[in-house]
Structure 1
Amino acid sequence: MSPESADSGPGRDPEVLHAEMEAVWGNPTGWRTASVVNHSSIGLRFMGTGAVFFVVGGLLAMLVRAQLARPGATVMDASAYNQAFTMHGSVMMFLFAVPVLQGLASYLMPKMLGARDLVFPRLSALGYWSYLFGGVILLSSLVWAVAPDTGWFMYVPLSSRPYSPGPNADFWLLGITFVEIATMASAIEMVVSILRTRARGMTLPRMPIFAWYMLVTSLMIIAGFPPLILGSILLELERSAGWAFFDVARGGDPILWQHLFWLFGHPEVYIIFLPAAGIVSTILPAHVRHPLVGYTWSVIAVITTGFISFGLWVHHMFTIGLPHLAQAFFSAASMLVAVPTGIQVFAWLATLWAGRPQRTVPMLWLTGFLLIFVAGGLTGVMLALVPFDWQVHDTHFVVAHMHYVLVGGMLFPLVAGLYHWLPLFSGRMPSERLARWAFWVTFIGFNGTFLIMHWTGLLGMPRRVYTYEAGLGWDLPNLVSSVFSFVMAFGVAMVFMDLFLSVRHGRRASPNPWQADTLEWACDMPPRAYNFASLPTVTSRHPLWDEPDLPERMREGQLALPRANHGRRETMGSDPTQGTPREVIHLPGNSFLPLLLGLALGWVCVALLAKAYGVAALGAGAAAGVALRWSWVNGAHPGAAAETHGLPEGLLLHSRTADGPGLWGMGMTLLADGALYASLLFGWLYLWTVSPAAASAPLPTPLLARLTPTGLALGGTALTTAAVGLALMRRASQRLQRGHDAGLVPQTLGAGLLGLLSVACLAVLLRVVPLAPQQHAHDAIVCTLFAFQLLHGLIGSVASLLQAWRVGHRYVGPHAPYEPLVVTQWWGFAAATLWVTAGVVFGVPALWSAP
């Protein structure tokens, strides 16, 4: 019997099937809802929390515009104004734009892919709790009037301890870094889910276009967020421990912060735009009754945009004194990115031309998006020209451009998407009259605010000033912008009210009311916790257009995995390119562990803000304990899958294979880790070779010359034991894959003990080598590299010892071989970076300075 027929059946009583599924997948009620890990619930929580943060950011914007409405206004003093505009930008960029789009993707993606959940449900829950607690910590600074006040980009030296002695900057550095845990977790899960949980037959060319946008966006987050995380860590170390990273007098350089920030900051623009563009490409065909024109070209454009976006960070640094050749290169790159963006715009226009546009509320918001985003793109090309950028840099012209691109390019598609998927969320249709009024009020208010702001910027009004004198030509345009900003705020409030009223009192929606082509509309409205009673087979890019009876066949249990009487939460694991079934993925159920880990990490964050480092260490210990417990119960424990009946012929549970999703998740985690490590090496090389500060504070004696024979022995032992430990873990993994279990305990135990020995040698070496991180930036960044290696070695050692214990208890073995493969990946990265670090910090300066 083939797998195609083994996991399907002639159909079952829908009521019996629903009761069976609900018993396994149903969400608890009451206080136990905090344990829910279902992707629909988590996605809605992300969007709801993001909406609250959006309201806070919008109120701060209204305060800013009220202050700037008239010259010499006294709505706020300088300190309050600085906090307001800093928090407005930070909230909108970090607490609203990316999390809300990720929440929408988390809600939709499994449904679009024909899956029952994301591949790491508990990781989704941890991401939400980290997002919530980090956002609350950041916003609490407003309550205490110590909010960040040096701009959402936190430029040093303004944000360094001498110029910002209070906790203001610390709230930003710790709170935003905490929030970024959520962003990284969601991105890793999204990549693995898209590649490994698609319905049978959903090849890459048949993927929903939104999946392509989210795949590229998530990979950009994985590669683009680590530089900012590193920069935040370095700046917090400078502020709290006195280490020198950005202090010119001690060999540091403030420009290093700009490089690290904009290595994140410019990809961030496209990280916000691409999911919104994916919404447009997904819902436009439904509202024009025509497939997206140029699907393949759009995919190529999205991938190209992702690559090019990482070559644009210096676009924000044209005025810092860069060499002319560098300015020319980044200016050309900044204009080049308009090409793939233009391809997407022309694909949308061609789809409009070929189809029959409907007079729907989502279509209205899509039209507004096209008008506003094209205008913002044109001013972006203007800013890519270095001479023009010199004239308008840090003026209101740049503020206006940014809002045209980000608000017009993200908020308008988001609202269109919310109206489009409202029947799926709630089972009810949006209104018509109030929704149209809300659009026009918002559209007019937006353009009245920011179109005029271009004029204000061209007249020379700088950004981030809390007041100005009369008679400079700025009075009227500022007043007009402020008045229209309140018009826009009223329009957004109308959108919120309309969505709320529609959810509560809107008319009932018919199945697939927009006649869309993607699989999420095969769900009930609103969807059940398990999405589908049976999982589909896809034969085209438009499954609901080509197979109108597919939802009914899925609902009746005629397709894949139509049972849950075994007690497992199951979804299909697929080949990453062809979509053919590889295994059945056994998903973990509801748990309080994500909440507990989020609370422990929040404890650490609050303790660091209070400078209570002992309490922070206790919190870190609690977090480590919860993480160990999580890893123990979330792995291939026999109790997690004691019975394997009901599986399709030829397929195993993923824990019984050597290619489970955990391997892919670890691969994505190490990609992010590698980006952070590369950024750290970049910082070391920059401070040593490029930074102007190197001339005023020359490099100290090369580290190799500072090593004593004892230090050389310690370093050699650390390198050797790490390499041998990696070899032992590789050997254990290979034997497991061949079905042998002899010697597994000694090998995994030996790897863990050798790892601990390597960590101990590194720790002693760090004390033996005379490093002065508070006196020179070179030594500070070398200490950071040592800390990086110590942390990775410790994690790898503990994971290896845990594997030895699990092998001894028969939780891991030839029957369940893939956990050691995951640990081996970590070991390989830790050992490789240790050798690279040794070669770079000890060898390169010595060779460079050799005669």
Structure 2
Amino acid sequence: MTNISVKDINITSGANPDHEAGTGWKRYFSFSTDHKVIGIQYIVTAFVLFLVGGIFAMVIRGELITPESDLVDRTVYNAMFTMHGTVMLFGWTFPVLVGFANYLVPLMIGARDMAFPRLNAVAFWMVPVAAILLMASFFVPGGPAQAGWWSYPPVSLQNPSGQLINGQFIWLLAVAVSGVSSIMGAVNFVTTIVKMRAPGMTFFRMPLFVWAVFSAQIIQLFGLPALTAGAVMLLFDLTVGTSFFDPAKGGNAVLFQHFFWFYSHPAVYVIILPVFGIFSEIFPVYARKPLFGYRVVAISSLLIAGVSALVWVHHMYVSGTPGWMRLIFMLTTMFVSVPTGIKVFAWVATIWGGKLRLNTPMLFALGGLILFVFAGITGITLSSVPLDIHVNNTYYVVGHFHYVLYGTVTMGMFAAIYHWFPKMTGRMYNEGWGQLHFWLAFIGTNLNFFPMHPLGLQGMLRRVSSYAPEYEFWNIVASLGGFLLGMSTLPFILNMIASWMHGKPAPENPWRAIGLEWLVSSPPPVENFEEIPVVISEPYGYGKSEPLVAAAGEVHNHK
């Protein structure tokens, strides 16, 4: 390992002139280069977009509560489910996870900031630009994008209005901008983790959240250019008359599916790996036990990143894929369960026999783990070619996907928000409101997404606004669960705003947690550490007597 030095990154040697100790809410609307400000900018922006995507979802569930299409026009419905998926993925899950990574990674590895602070700020400000473009695509005169968040041709190449600037055109621009932002962020994270770790912070002394971010951003670097290239090629087909994907002009529509899924299935791991890292940070704290199998769990993140590049064709079993290719990708998809199973085993072993504190972060982490296990079971069934063909394009796939994206990822995000809220704001949240939020969200998630599995097994197609009457019961249950899930965000919003403004002042380490981020004040100073700490032991030493770091002539113990 190469320790950081002045010649590598100059911000380790003292104050960065780009960092100004701004105070008050105005700094969150500025072009700040402080990774903590940028992290909160990402998180708050993503949550606003989460609310927008949630409104689209509730309109969709309102339409589906009856078999008839009687709430919104079918064109509007198609645009809404396109926007719902796009906003939730490109506006919520990616930015919120990048926000937490921005805030926590430099603190966790003992750095003063990210490797490229200005690039970091530019990458964030591209997110509002992409969001504005997405919203604009819904209202342009040429009609909104209606091809779904995957935007398959030839549907995405249809242009009934004949106008060059239509919703699909602007939608593709938004996706391209988002992709460039993510590539810039990936370069920054990988450089920061490789080059800016504090002295003594070897790879196997890094917190598992850092391991997870590192693995996820490697996927971004290798996979995201394929999606960005596919989006640009589709944009050319739509605007200047090329024929990459247009079958009417000799193009190959299935080629776009390869471009899209080569990244967009690994993107699920880009999203969920940091959540796995959050679970690995939270369970030892609230169980008061060392994390079981630290090194194996760390390596499993890299295994997931590697295998993720070999599974994309399982989305294309019915796209003319030959039998030999189906078999190969069925096996690689099933193999993903091995490193993820290692993580689940380690978390359960950590919790088992621990002195559990079931406060809000722990409840959300446990809830996310339970829902992930269910999502993993349905994911294994979908990897099997015969069952996947049976439920292809049905609500079974939608149910599985939402158990992953909401049941695991969003629950994990809420666990992280509650856990690090005192560190970020210097205030304590209201525990009662937090627990109410958890139970409403957990019950709403299951009521909303579990009924989609029997609906899919019975044959109900997805992306429809009307359906046969025999599917009505489960759709009523799912819609009521969706409305409950939407309402569950209200106590969260009230809790966060009231606590940030008037909450009880937080101590530096209210959870008695281990990690460099808990050795600084709440909230942390502008450049994190007065003196770069020297790490002298592995993380997660709960109950052990070895010191964690030696900094400024004093030793900080694990206990």
- So what's the TM-score if we normalise by structure 1? 0.61
Task: Give the residue type in structure 2 aligned to 1:285.
Answer: P
Q: Give the alignment of 1:65-84 within 5 angstroms.
A: 65-84=61-80
Does the 8 Å contact 2:284/2:291 carry over to 1?
Answer: yes
Task: Give the residue type in structure 1 aligned to 2:530.
Answer: A
Q: Give the alignment of 1:453-532 within 5 angstroms.
A: 453-470=452-469, 473-532=470-529
The 2-side partners of 1:544 and 1:127 are apart by 36
The 2-side partners of 1:452 and 1:162 are apart by 35
**1:43 maps to what in 2?**
39
Note if 1:94 corresponds to 2:93: no
Tell me which moved more, 23-32 or 487-496.
Answer: 23-32
The unaligned stretches of length 5 or more in structure 2 are 7-13, 555-559
The alignment partner of 2:352 has SS state of helix
Q: Give the alignment of 1:366-765 within 5 angstroms.
A: 366-470=365-469, 473-542=470-539
Q: 1:26 aligns with which of 5, 20, 40?
A: 20
**2:289 maps to what in 1?**
290
Note if 1:160 corresponds to 2:157: yes
The 1-side partners of 2:49 and 2:412 are apart by 19
Give 1:75 shift: 1.2
The 1-side partners of 2:29 and 2:459 are apart by 53
Does the 8 Å contact 2:282/2:365 carry over to 1?
Answer: no
- So what's the TM-score if we normalise by structure 2? 0.92
Does the 8 Å contact 1:449/1:484 carry over to 2?
Answer: yes
Q: 2:52 aligns with which of 32, 56, 66?
A: 56
Change (3 A) 1:393 1:428: same
Does the 8 Å contact 2:290/2:540 carry over to 1?
Answer: no
Change (3 A) 1:541 1:388: same
The alignment partner of 1:465 has SS state of coil
Give 1:460 shift: 1.1
Task: Give the residue type in structure 2 aligned to 1:447.
Answer: N
Task: Give the residue type in structure 2 aligned to 1:498.
Answer: N
Does the 8 Å contact 1:21/1:533 carry over to 2?
Answer: no
The alignment partner of 2:156 has SS state of coil
**1:183 maps to what in 2?**
182
**1:660 maps to what in 2?**
none
Does the 8 Å contact 1:372/1:409 carry over to 2?
Answer: yes
**2:203 maps to what in 1?**
204
| TM-align CA RMSD | 2.3
Note if 1:214 corresponds to 2:213: yes
Give 1:505 shift: 2.4
**1:638 maps to what in 2?**
none
Give 1:321 shift: 2.0
The alignment partner of 1:72 has SS state of coil
**2:361 maps to what in 1?**
362
Change (3 A) 1:523 1:232: same
**1:139 maps to what in 2?**
135
The 2-side partners of 1:326 and 1:164 are apart by 39
Give 1:21 shift: 6.0
Note if 1:241 corresponds to 2:237: no
Give 1:354 shift: 4.5
**2:303 maps to what in 1?**
304
**How far does the alpha carbon of each residue in 1:465-518 deviate from its partner, in whole angstroms, 9 at most, with x for none?**
111243xx1111111110111011111222222222222222222221111111
The 2-side partners of 1:118 and 1:155 are apart by 37
Q: 2:110 aligns with which of 106, 109, 114?
A: 114
The 2-side partners of 1:484 and 1:81 are apart by 20
Q: Give the alignment of 1:764-843 within 5 angstroms.
A: none
**2:351 maps to what in 1?**
352
The unaligned stretches of length 5 or more in structure 1 are 7-19, 560-851
Give 1:357 shift: 1.5
**1:265 maps to what in 2?**
264
Task: Give the residue type in structure 2 aligned to 1:44.
Answer: I
Give 1:32 shift: 10
Does the 8 Å contact 1:22/1:529 carry over to 2?
Answer: no
**How far does the alpha carbon of each residue in 1:589-614 deviate from its partner, in whole angstroms, 9 at most, with x for none?**
xxxxxxxxxxxxxxxxxxxxxxxxxx
Task: Give the residue type in structure 2 aligned to 1:41.
Answer: V
The 1-side partners of 2:393 and 2:28 are apart by 49
The 2-side partners of 1:467 and 1:24 are apart by 55
The 2-side partners of 1:502 and 1:291 are apart by 31
Q: Considering only CA atoms, is the larger Rg found in Structure 1 or Structure 2? A: 1
Does the 8 Å contact 1:157/1:163 carry over to 2?
Answer: no
Does the 8 Å contact 1:290/1:355 carry over to 2?
Answer: yes
Change (3 A) 1:547 1:115: farther
**1:148 maps to what in 2?**
145
Give 1:23 shift: 8.5
Task: Give the residue type in structure 2 aligned to 1:429.
Answer: M
The alignment partner of 1:149 has SS state of coil
Note if 1:128 corresponds to 2:124: yes
Give 1:58 shift: 0.4
**2:191 maps to what in 1?**
192
Task: Give the residue type in structure 1 aligned to 2:121.
Answer: A
Does the 8 Å contact 1:519/1:544 carry over to 2?
Answer: no
The alignment partner of 1:71 has SS state of coil
Change (3 A) 1:527 1:544: farther
The 2-side partners of 1:107 and 1:462 are apart by 41
**1:695 maps to what in 2?**
none
Change (3 A) 1:544 1:38: farther
Give 1:251 shift: 2.9
Give 1:162 shift: 5.0
The 2-side partners of 1:264 and 1:281 are apart by 25
**2:10 maps to what in 1?**
none
The 1-side partners of 2:279 and 2:222 are apart by 25
**1:317 maps to what in 2?**
316
The 2-side partners of 1:477 and 1:33 are apart by 44
Task: Give the residue type in structure 2 aligned to 1:512.
Answer: N
Give 1:359 shift: 2.1
Identity %: 37
The 2-side partners of 1:175 and 1:499 are apart by 30
**How far does the alpha carbon of each residue in 1:622-641 deviate from its partner, in whole angstroms, 9 at most, with x for none?**
xxxxxxxxxxxxxxxxxxxx
The 2-side partners of 1:455 and 1:413 are apart by 26
The alignment partner of 1:35 has SS state of coil
